[in-house]
Each structure stands twice: as structure tokens, then as C-alpha cells.
């Protein structure tokens, strides 16, 4: 279950915007993500897999309310597919995303102390070190001021992203700025990073997608939603129509999955393609589906039907031809033979008169 891009430089990803240092390249090879909404709070847990030669990169994610940010448990993404029982038999199905539903107190010291004063129009809620991440929680009333603060504090931001952030500023959203920096100096960002776990209040679930319109290559979304009922997207937001590949209740399970599914037992898996990211019009708003009808994707393996090693179609066509020939022969044999008409001798020729 992945959101996959090959963007270099990577100015957009499905849940935010990733920007490398100048003159370096980074691509998001995979993003594993799950959204959980219990009617009051939303949780998003994600793990990025990156490739490139960048030693630092910034990721900006808008959120509708103040978010808490912690490190997630990497083992959550390694739980077996059997955690979700299929509604009907399938050839093969894979379920990868099972985030941990537990927070723990921040153990890192607040690094905001002693930092330069925030720019006008930007508020710093806090700034902490979480594993390989330098995380700043910010408020902003001016996207240009937000860009200036990010640039001053080592979070690169392309100029065109400032314009893309304006709708979030107008709606008074907040921001989680993440600077990915390896622990070892000189090490490039590569492979699966530690997962991040965001939690914030939400009257309705939303998955930020607006910043993906800056991406230069087609985007693919695979989103797993845990809620009390089956969920659906309100609109296609400029992409192809979303497809539901799985919908059903998650059976009780030990460990992280059991804690996560408590109170939100219905899992909806959505996939969607964005051939032209520039057409993305906003964020995915999720609503309850008309019914909790289960859906299970079925993958068929097509095989040629054979009888004793002979293709069935050949036996069928050959048998039909043989039968047709047999019918013709039988009909010909049963057809009555009409005798030819009797041969009548010609009438006698009258003698001719003597010549005198």
C-alpha cells in the first residue's frame, strides 16, 4: 500500500511537500500511510522511503488543527497481511499499513530556546529533534513570512510553494515542518526513514493533497482509512475516479493493530491516479459511504482450460466439425434415390412414297 513518486527534485508528495537542498536530488520512492478518524481526532502515520544524493531535505505538511508529532513504530508496517481477513477468497492480497495508536511524552529537549526570534506573521509552537527529524510546529498568517522563517532555519522552500500555501493560511491551518537530517555527517538520505505519527483534532477527516499539484510527474494514491464505518472521498479533486479495493471490518488482533482498530473497526482502502498533478484542486475530504457494504478486490489468474492436456476450445470446435460432417453423411445416406425417367423408343418412321 503505497503512495509512489519519482520526482527529482521532489517538490511535492501526497501529504505535503518535500524539498531537497539546492543542487541535490531526492526522490520519494514510496510512502506508506494510514489515516484513522474516531469522530473527534485524526491520526496519520507515514513512513517515507527516499533515494538520492541529498544530505538534508524539508517536508512541509499543513494540518487543520494543532498537531502532536511523535516517532512511530517501524514494526507496525511489517505486520502480516493476515491481520485483515478477506471477505471472499482472493488469489493474492497484501495489507502493509498498521500504525501504532500510542503516544509517548516527548523525550527530546525543546530546541526552540535560544533560536532567532520568529519572523512577523509566524508563530513557533515548538521545535524538537525526533530521531533523524528536526520538527517544527508552526502557525502563520503570511505564507511569505513562513517561507522566510523556514529558509532562515534550514528548511528549504521553493518560491512557488508559498503561493500554494495561501489557501491554508486563509483557513488558519497550522504546519508541521520536518527537516530530514541523517545522524551521521555527510550521510545521504536513502532507504526507509523512521515513521512519523501525527495526531490532531478534526470534526471531519481530511487528507492533505493540495501541495501535490506542484509535482512534475503523475501521482498515485493508496490511502487506508480506519473509521467506525466505510468511508469515501467527497470528490476526485482533479484526479481519476478513486477506486475502493477493500472495505470491511478489521478483526480483533493483538499488538498495535488491536489498539488502533479499537473504536474504528472499519477499514476502507482507496486507490487513485493523478495523471496531471497540476489539476489537483484541493485536499481529500472523507465522508461516510452510503452503506457499509464490504468490498474485496479479487485477483484472477487466467489459465487455458484443458481436457487431458488438449485445449477445451479445440475439442469443442473439432467435435462440432466432426458432428457436422457426420450429420451431412447420414442425411445423404438416408436421402431416397429417385430413378431416372423411363426411356421411350422413338416412334416408327413412315415409309416414303416411291418416286415415279
Classify 95 as helix, strand or coil.
Answer: coil
Classify 224 as helix, strand or coil.
Answer: strand
3-state secondary structure 106-171: CCCCECCCCCCCCCCCEEEEEEEEECCEEEEEEEECCHHHHHHHHHHCCCCCCHHHHHHHHHHHHC
For residue 11, the model assigns a pLDDT of: 40
**Integer Cα distance of 167 and 267 in angstroms:** 30
Question: Are the CB atoms for 195 and 47 separated by under 8 Å?
Answer: yes
**Integer Cα distance of 115 and 268 in angstroms:** 43
* Residue 326 grid cell: 457426420
User: Residue holding cell 426411356?
Assistant: 343
* Residue 11 grid cell: 517538490
Question: Are the CB atoms for 203 and 197 separated by under 8 Å?
Answer: no
Classify 198 as helix, strand or coil.
Answer: strand
User: Residue holding cell 526522490?
Assistant: 27
Region of residue 137 (left: phi > 0; alpha: psi -120 to 50; beta: else): beta
For each of the chain's 356 residues, which pLDDT tens digit applies? 333 322 333 344 544 455 555 545 555 545 677 899 999 999 998 877 666 655 566 778 899 999 999 988 776 666 534 444 443 434 444 444 444 443 333 334 444 444 444 456 889 999 999 888 889 999 999 888 888 888 888 876 666 777 888 899 999 999 999 887 666 555 555 667 788 899 999 999 999 988 888 877 787 887 889 999 999 999 999 999 999 988 988 876 666 666 777 889 898 988 888 999 889 999 999 999 999 999 876 666 777 778 777 877 788 887 788 888 887 877 777 777 677 777 777 777 767 666 65
Provide the 10 A C-beta neighbour count for residue 287: 13
**Integer Cα distance of 286 and 39 in angstroms:** 12
For residue 14, the model assigns a pLDDT of: 46
Question: Are the CB atoms for 244 and 268 separated by under 8 Å?
Answer: yes
The pTM assigned to this predicted structure is: 0.69
Radius of gyration of the chain (CA): 35
β partners of residue 45:
34, 197
Classify 39 as helix, strand or coil.
Answer: coil
Classify 343 as helix, strand or coil.
Answer: coil
Among 177, 181, 182, CA closest to 139: 177
Residues 6+ apart with CB under 8 A from 335: none
* Residue 344 grid cell: 421411350
Residues 6+ apart with CB under 8 A from 168: 62, 175, 210
Run of H or E including 325? helix 312-334
DSSP 249-311: EPPP-SHHHHHHHTT--EEEEEEEEES-GGG--SPEEEEE-SS---EE---------EETTEE
- Is the Cα torsion angle 324, 325, 330, 332 positive or negative in sign? positive
Region of residue 171 (left: phi > 0; alpha: psi -120 to 50; beta: else): alpha
Amino acid at each position: 500500500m503505497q503512495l509512489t513518486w519519482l520526482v527529482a527534485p521532489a517538490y511535492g508528495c501526497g501529504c505535503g511537500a518535500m524539498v531537497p537542498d539546492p543542487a541535490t536530488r531526492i526522490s520519494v520512492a514510496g510512502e506508506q500511510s494510514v489515516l484513522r478518524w474516531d469522530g473527534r481526532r485524526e491520526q496519520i502515520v507515514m513512513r517515507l522511503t527516499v533515494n538520492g544524493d541529498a544530505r538534508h531535505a524539508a517536508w512541509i505538511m499543513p494540518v487543520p488543527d494543532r498537531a502532536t508529532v511523535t516517532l512511530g513504530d517501524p514494526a507496525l508496517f511489517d505486520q502480516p497481511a493476515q491481520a485483515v481477513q478477506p471477505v471472499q477468497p482472493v488469489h493474492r492480497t497484501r495489507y502493509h499499513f498498521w500504525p501504532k495508536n500510542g503516544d509517548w511524552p516527548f523525550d527530546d529537549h525543546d530546541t526552540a530556546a535560544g533560536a532567532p526570534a520568529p519572523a512577523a506573521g509566524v508563530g513557533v509552537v515548538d521545535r524538537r529533534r525526533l530521531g533523524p527529524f528536526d520538527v517544527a510546529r508552526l502557525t502563520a498568517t503570511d505564507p511569505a513570512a513562513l517561507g522566510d522563517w523556514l529558509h532562515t532555519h534550514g528548511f528549504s522552500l521553493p518560491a512557488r510553494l508559498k503561493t500554494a500555501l495561501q489557501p491554508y493560511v486563509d483557513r488558519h491551518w497550522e504546519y508541521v515542518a520536518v527537516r530530514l537530517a541523517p545522524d551521521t555527517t555527510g550521510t545521504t538520505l536513502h532507504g526507509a526513514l523512521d515513521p512519523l505519527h501525527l495526531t490532531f483534532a478534526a470534526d471531519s477527516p481530511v487528507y492533505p493533497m493540495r501541495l501535490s499539484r506542484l509535482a512534475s510527474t503523475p501521482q498515485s494514491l493508496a490511502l487506508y482509512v480506519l473509521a467506525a464505518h466505510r468511508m469515501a472521498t467527497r470528490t476526485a479533486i482533479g484526479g481519476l475516479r478513486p477506486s475502493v479495493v477493500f472495505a470491511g471490518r478489521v478483526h480483533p488482533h493483538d499488538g498495535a493493530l488491536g489498539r488502533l482498530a479499537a473504536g474504528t473497526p472499519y477499514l476502507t482502502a482507496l486507490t487513485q491516479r493523478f495523471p496531471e498533478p497540476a489539476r489537483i484542486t484541493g485536499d481529500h475530504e472523507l465522508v461516510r459511504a452510503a452503506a457499509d457494504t464490504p468490498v474485496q478486490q479479487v485477483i484472477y489468474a487466467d489459465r487455458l482450460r484443458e481436457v487431458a492436456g488438449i485445449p477445451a476450445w479445440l475439442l469443442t470446435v473439432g467435435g462440432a466439425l466432426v458432428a457436422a460432417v457426420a450429420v451431412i453423411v447420414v442425411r445423404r445416406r438416408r436421402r431416397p434415390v429417385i430413378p431416372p425417367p423411363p426411356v421411350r423408343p422413338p416412334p416408327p418412321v413412315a415409309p416414303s412414297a416411291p418416286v415415279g
